[in-house]
């Protein structure tokens, strides 16, 4: 039977204890865990309690124990030891969580957009956002926050997306510049107009027996939107079925007709596949390249396809058509009410000025974003330049629509540009969490869960970096100018170079905690507490693990609060010989006592439960143990110090918790307080009274 003592408690000497999970109760703080009177308990509200111990320096730990907890039978624990990067979250200079729907801007922050913008709010309604105000966009169907919306400038060439001028009737009056839904001998009607969740719409009905194969609703005249061969255009509109059905209709599509300067029909380069139209008003779109060499204008429209002779009766709700020059669809753009006209939304710009960061000394950035350029162009989710705002001395992240990758570039007009900058594969239009670190270890780029790409040459800079673009290039006269369309969910900046492991963890999970740097991780294990164990949980290693930090996590799903009486950890004295026969274990049934922590004198305390007690002898200690471990232990503990006695390090955890005692190794007058060395007898006797 191999016993052990944990007597050199390093938690009591720790630099700090911090609650990482659970809310500390002010009247029962974590500092109570260090109090010599263990009746002063620490309490953390919630069903989880996590305590981070900073030993102040690398410390070898063989064992840890939670003493006198209130952990129930369903509780689990986890025990970890390691350096700061594995257990202490790196502290950013700022951490902007745009996915929460608002931020606290850091000093020097500016947002600019020289026009009204539109986005969907948390209720799914399309709302106008004032000039120079950020837009936090949401999915109009799921209502999930998509993040901060940053877009290049765009113009909606459809002049009347509000459908002004329409009047109900059969056929009624079509909206200004538009036509009703008609064709193939069917009867078309304007049912009415309105707004649904902020989206202006017109309801149109078409019915009868078709004499042709299609019916269309034109969103513009054929001469209003100038276009040319090779241009990329995008058409979008909201469509839903609100009456009748799509029976006998083979497809519903968005398309454009192309015309010469003389308004002769050329063809249709933009033709969507069939739209997934149902009763929900949702946006559909099509993007394409103008093919005709003689094209001078285009006309966007909605078309229903069917067979001649089909019986048709359907009412469609059509909302906010948008025709824009660009290879992808952007947010809705609306003119002022009562003033139908082609309307431009200005570019979004966002940056921080007045910073003073020496990039060569070390810096790191996290950007969580989704970007689109339509297959051409480059998105710049983050950039940093010196006071001159010169492109030639900048550092920046990019996503290329052409090569579908994430890259990092560092330029220096004095020392020369950084050779072979790191890049990683990525998918345009997909979520990417990107981390770049700069400094004495070179440059590291991490993206999502991919293996980081690191280049060891140390980057140089011509000066102190001062202007940071958040979602755009920060150089030139328009710092932070957006390109393409981006949803920025988070930007965090660290004024030091993170390790490669931290960069990978941050890109993978959003947390800088690098589990690969841990020297010990028990994983999640059952706490195996019981009434017989008095709430104790004893955690052992076969050999010591070294680290500056230790974290103990306890989770009890059925609890609303978790109490801890003591947290201890340290090296073990593993005794070389088994105990002698005649071990006694029991309780002090009538002798409820506590001890003065200064004098060791015992006194009755009625508030304490009957403590457990064990008596045993270690008869065959080695001379080295007598002169070193035992003598050092009893000298350090004296009459008042406590230690953990572990009866058998080979026991299962449930039995280990029951049989191990935290208490007085030597009560006043006991043999174990002596520091005498008797060469003829290597026997030492112990009386251990549990401290609850």
399-435 residue pLDDT tens: 988 777 898 888 877 767 777 788 998 888 899 999 9
Task: State residue 603's pLDDT score.
Answer: 55
Quick one: DSSP state of residue 34? G
Task: State residue 606's pLDDT score.
Answer: 44
Which phi and psi angles does 326 have, rounded to 5°?
165, 155
Give the contacts of 617 (CB within 8 A, at least 6 positions apart): 579, 580, 582, 683, 684, 685, 686
Residue 2 token pair: 């191999």
Task: State residue 671's pLDDT score.
Answer: 42
Listed residue (381, 373, 422, 419) closest to 400, CA to CA: 373
End-to-end CA gap in the chain: 25
Count of CB atoms within 10 A of residue 532's CB? 12
Quick one: DSSP state of residue 630? I
Q: Answer whether 583's CB lies under 8 Å from 618's CB.
A: no
Count of CB atoms within 10 A of residue 361's CB? 14
Q: b/e for 480-510, b at 16 or more Cβ within 10 A?
A: bbbbbbbbbbbbbbbbebbbbbbbbbbbbee
User: Is omega for the bond preceding 690 within 30 degrees of 0, making it cis?
Assistant: no
Task: State residue 296's pLDDT score.
Answer: 98
Q: What is the DSSP string of 197-243?
A: TTEEEEEEEEEEE-SSSEEEEESS-TTSEE--TT-EEEEEEEEEEEE
Q: Answer whether 113's CB lies under 8 Å from 331's CB.
A: no
Give the contacts of 27 (CB within 8 A, at least 6 positions apart): none
Residue 479 token pair: 């710092």
In sequence order, what E strands does 532-641 have?
537-555, 561-564, 566-570, 573-574, 584-587, 593-595, 602-604, 612-618
**687 beta partners:** 615
| Phi-psi domain of 267 (left: phi exceeds 0; alpha: psi -120 through 50; beta: other) | left
Task: State residue 604's pLDDT score.
Answer: 55
Give the contacts of 585 (CB within 8 A, at least 6 positions apart): 612, 613, 614, 659
Give the contacts of 375 (CB within 8 A, at least 6 positions apart): 327, 401, 402, 428
Residue 468 token pair: 């940071």
Task: State residue 664's pLDDT score.
Answer: 80
Task: State residue 319's pLDDT score.
Answer: 98
Task: State residue 676's pLDDT score.
Answer: 45
Q: b/e for 106-124, b at 16 or more Cβ within 10 A?
A: eeebebbbebbbbbbbeee
Q: Answer whether 32's CB lies under 8 Å from 52's CB.
A: no
Task: State residue 669's pLDDT score.
Answer: 41
Q: In the chain, which residues have pLDDT < 70?
A: 1, 36-39, 415, 477, 581-582, 588-609, 639-640, 666-681, 692
User: Rounded to a whole number, what is the largest CA-CA distance in the chain?
Assistant: 120
Q: What is the DSSP string of 54-88?
A: EEEEEEEEEEEEEES----TT-EEEEEEE-HHHHS
Quick one: DSSP state of residue 91? -
Separate counts of helices (H) and strands (E) for the chain: 5, 46
* Claim: this prediction has a pTM higher than 0.95: no
Residue 187: alpha-carbon gap to chain centroid: 54
Q: Answer whether 462's CB lies under 8 Å from 413's CB.
A: yes
Residue 149: strand, helix, or coil: strand
CATH-assigned architecture of domain 187-341: Sandwich (2.60)
Torsion of CA 145, 146, 147, 153, to 10 degrees: -130
**593 beta partners:** 604
Residue 30: strand, helix, or coil: helix
Strand pairing category for 349-352 and 442-447: unpaired
Quick one: DSSP state of residue 28? B
CA distance linking residue 412 with residue 134, whole number of Å: 32
Task: State residue 597's pLDDT score.
Answer: 56
Residue 453: strand, helix, or coil: strand
Residue 25 token pair: 């109760």
Listed residue (535, 552, 609) closest to 67, CA to CA: 535
**Which whole-number Å values give the CA distances from 614 to 434, 538, 617, 645, 666, in the listed order?**
58, 17, 10, 10, 12
Task: State residue 310's pLDDT score.
Answer: 98
Q: Answer whether 649's CB lies under 8 Å from 540's CB.
A: yes
Residue position matching structure tokens 């069939």: 274
Given 3.40.50.10540, 2.40.160.10, 2.120.10.30, 2.60.120.260, which CATH number is that of 11-83+518-572? 2.60.120.260
Q: Answer whether 541's CB lies under 8 Å from 81's CB.
A: no
**What stretch of H or E contains 454?**
strand 453-455
């Amino acid at each position: 039977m191999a016993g052990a003592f944990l007597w050199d408690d390093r938690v009591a000497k720790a630099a700090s204890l911090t609650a990482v999970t659970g809310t500390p109760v002010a009247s029962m703080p974590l500092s109570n865990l260090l109090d010599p009177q263990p009746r002063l308990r620490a309490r953390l509200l919630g069903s989880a309690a996590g305590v981070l111990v900073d030993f102040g320096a690398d410390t070898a730990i063989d064992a840890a124990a939670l003493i006198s907890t209130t952990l129930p039978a369903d509780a689990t624990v986890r025990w970890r030891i390691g350096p700061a990067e594995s257990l202490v979250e790196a502290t950013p200079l700022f951490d902007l969580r745009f996915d929460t729907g608002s931020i606290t801007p850091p000093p020097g922050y500016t947002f600019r957009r020289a026009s009204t913008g539109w986005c969907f709010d948390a209720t799914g309604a399309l709302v106008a956002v004032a000039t120079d105000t950020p837009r936090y966009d949401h999915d109009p169907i799921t209502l999930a926050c998509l993040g901060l919306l940053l877009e290049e400038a765009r113009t909606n060439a459809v002049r009347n997306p509000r459908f002004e001028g329409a009047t109900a009737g059969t056929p009624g009056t079509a909206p200004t510049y538009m036509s009703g839904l008609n064709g193939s001998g069917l009867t078309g009607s304007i049912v009415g107009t309105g707004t649904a969740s902020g989206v202006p719409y017109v309801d149109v009905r078409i019915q009868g027996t078709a004499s042709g194969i299609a019916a269309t609703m034109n969103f513009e005249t054929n001469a209003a939107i100038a276009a040319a061969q090779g241009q990329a255009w995008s058409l979008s509109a909201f469509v839903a079925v609100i009456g009748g059905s799509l029976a006998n209709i083979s497809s519903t599509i968005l398309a454009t007709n192309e015309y010469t300067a003389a308004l002769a029909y050329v063809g249709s380069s933009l033709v969507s596949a069939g739209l997934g139209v149902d009763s929900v008003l949702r946006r559909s779109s099509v993007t394409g390249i103008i093919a005709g060499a003689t094209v001078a204008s285009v006309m966007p429209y909605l078309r229903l396809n069917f067979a001649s002779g089909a019986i048709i009766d359907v009412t469609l709700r059509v909302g906010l058509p948008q025709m824009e020059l660009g290879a992808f669809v952007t947010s809705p753009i609306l003119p002022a009410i009562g003033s139908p006209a082609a309307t431009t939304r200005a570019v979004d710009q966002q940056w921080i000025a007045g910073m003073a960061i020496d990039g060569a000394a070390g810096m790191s950035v996290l950007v969580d974003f989704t970007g689109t350029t339509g297959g051409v162009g480059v998105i710049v989710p983050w950039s940093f330049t010196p006071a001159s705002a010169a492109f030639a001395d900048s550092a920046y992240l990019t996503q290329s629509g052409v090569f579908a990758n994430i890259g990092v570039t560092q330029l220096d007009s004095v020392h020369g540009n950084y050779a072979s900058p790191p890049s990683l594969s990525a998918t345009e239009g997909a979520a990417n969490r990107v981390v770049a670190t700069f400094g004495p270890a070179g440059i590291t780029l991490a993206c999502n869960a991919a293996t980081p790409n690191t280049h060891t040459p140390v980057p140089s800079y011509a000066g102190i970096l001062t202007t940071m673009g958040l979602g755009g290039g920060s150089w030139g006269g328009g710092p932070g100018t957006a390109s393409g369309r981006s949803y920025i969910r988070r930007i965090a900046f660290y004024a030091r170079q993170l390790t490669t492991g931290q960069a990978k963890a941050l890109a993978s999970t959003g947390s800088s905690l690098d589990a690969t740097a841990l020297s010990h991780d028990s994983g999640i294990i059952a706490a195996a507490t019981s009434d017989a164990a008095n709430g104790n949980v004893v955690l052992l290693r076969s050999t010591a693990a070294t680290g500056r930090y230790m974290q103990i996590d306890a989770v009890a799903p059925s609890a609303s609060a978790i109490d801890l009486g003591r947290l201890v950890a340290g090296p073990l004295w593993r005794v070389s010989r088994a105990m002698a026969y005649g071990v006694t274990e029991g309780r002090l049934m009538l002798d409820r006592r506590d001890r003065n922590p200064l004098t060791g004198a015992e006194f009755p305390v009625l508030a304490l439960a009957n403590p457990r007690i064990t008596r045993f002898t270690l008869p065959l200690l080695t001379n080295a143990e007598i002169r070193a471990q035992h003598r050092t232990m009893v000298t350090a503990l004296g009459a008042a110090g406590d230690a953990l006695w572990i009866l058998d390090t080979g026991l299962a955890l449930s039995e280990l918790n029951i049989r191990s005692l935290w208490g007085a190794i030597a009560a006043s007058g006991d043999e174990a307080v002596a520091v005498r060395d008797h060469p003829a007898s290597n026997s030492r006797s112990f009386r251990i009274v549990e401290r609850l």
